[in-house]
Amino acid sequence: MISLDSNGLINSGKVRVCYLHPANPDLVIKIPVGRKKEEQQANIKELRGYQMLMREHVDLFCVSHCYGFVTTNRGTGLVCDCIRDDDEEISKTLWDVIVCQDECDLEYIQNVIGKFCNFLISKDIFVFDLNLKNIVLRSQHDGSFQPVIIDLKGRYESHELIPLSRHIAYLGRKKLERRCNQLIDRVISYRENRAEYQPADKAFKGQKGITC
Ligand SMILES: Nc1ncnc2c1ncn2[C@@H]1O[C@H](COP(=O)(O)OP(=O)(O)OP(=O)(O)O)[C@@H](O)[C@H]1O
Ligand SMILES: [Mg+2]
């Protein structure tokens, strides 16, 4: 059994806590935050979403790959790639950069995210949960950012009565376009209104260059 403790905590979302794998710094383990159905099912949704994506796309550099389940002292966890910058730091989420960091080249980030969205759309990479905390910006030696999606359960979280966009490419494409437009709008609006969001997210307080 893998033993997790709070020293390995990376961050948490609404339904899962993300830990660094204690035996492998290139992996994370995601554990449900509680016993509610939504929390318990998040990992299986992500694994299914990931497998579906991999059936459609042989090789994807823009997602955190998932490897299956492990037993831990904090419950069953899903193992995925830990996304790190070229200097080995764990990559910051788009939220960390846009909302928490004082310094942020908004124009450049808008450009990076715009190009990333065009890439997702052009390749029919159907990832729908494109919020600022589900994308990390992998910082590279040349100072550029490569966006990577770290939460793939959105494909299985359809709020449609019959999840047609999961199976019909045209509808999937339309949904992806809407989600991409929302993401691009959010990059600007969250930066402009960042003071409103900072107190609610203290998880990264104290980390290098991050103030909230
Ligand atoms: N593969 C990864 N590499 C590095 N950090 C990660 C990774 N996966 C998750 N994290 C960190 O953990 C946080 C929560 O992870 P995740 O989005 O999987 O949780 P969640 O509870 O399913 O999210 P949501 O609130 O969107 O439902 C992320 O915002 C990020 O900071
Ligand atoms: Mg998430």
Which of 150, 152, 156, 186 has most ligand 1 atoms within 8 Å of its beta carbon, as the pocket-test mutant? 150
Q: Which atom of ligand 1 is nearest to the CA of 33?
A: 21
How many Å lie between the centroid of ligand 1 and the Cα of residue 112? 20
Q: Which residues sit opposite 146 in a β-bridge?
A: 138
* Ligand 1 contact, 47 CB (< 6 A): no
* Ligand 1 contact, 43 CB (< 6 A): no
* Ligand 1 contact, 138 CB (< 6 A): no
pLDDT at residue 65, rounded to an integer: 97
pLDDT digits (tens, 9 = 90+) for 102-148: 999 999 999 999 999 999 999 999 999 999 999 999 999 999 999 99
pLDDT at residue 140, rounded to an integer: 98
pLDDT at residue 186, rounded to an integer: 97
pLDDT at residue 172, rounded to an integer: 86
Cα–Cα distance, 18 to 36 (Å, whole number): 17
Kindly tell me if the per-residue pLDDT of 59 is higher than 90.
no
Sketch out the chain's domains with CATH numbers.
6-81 (3.30.200.20), 92-200 (1.10.510)
How many Å lie between the centroid of ligand 1 and the Cα of residue 84? 13
User: What are the Cα distances from residue 134, in Å, to 28, 64, 71, 141, 185?
Assistant: 14, 10, 24, 23, 16
Kindly tell me if the per-residue pLDDT of 164 is higher than 70.
no
The residue written with tokens 């402009």 in the block is 192
pLDDT at residue 199, rounded to an integer: 64
Q: Whose CA is nearest to atom 29 of ligand 1?
A: 133
* Ligand 1 contact, 11 CB (< 6 A): yes
Percentage with pLDDT > 90 across the chain: 81
Q: Whose CA is nearest to atom 15 of ligand 1?
A: 13
pLDDT digits (tens, 9 = 90+) for 68-106: 999 999 999 999 999 999 999 999 999 999 999 999 999
Task: Quickly state the pLDDT bin for 207 (edges 50, 70, 90).
Answer: low
More reliable by pLDDT, 208 or 11: 11
Cα–Cα distance, 16 to 196 (Å, whole number): 24
In the chain, where does DSSP find H-type helix? 37-56, 94-95, 106-122, 164-167, 169-192, 194-197
Cα–Cα distance, 63 to 86 (Å, whole number): 16
How many Å lie between the centroid of ligand 2 and the Cα of residue 131? 8
DSSP element (H, E) containing 201: none
Residue 68 makes CB contacts below 8 A (sequence gap 6+) with 47, 78, 79
Q: What mean pLDDT, rounded, does the chain reach?
A: 91
Q: Whose CA is nearest to atom 30 of ligand 1?
A: 11
Q: Whose CA is nearest to atom 19 of ligand 1?
A: 13
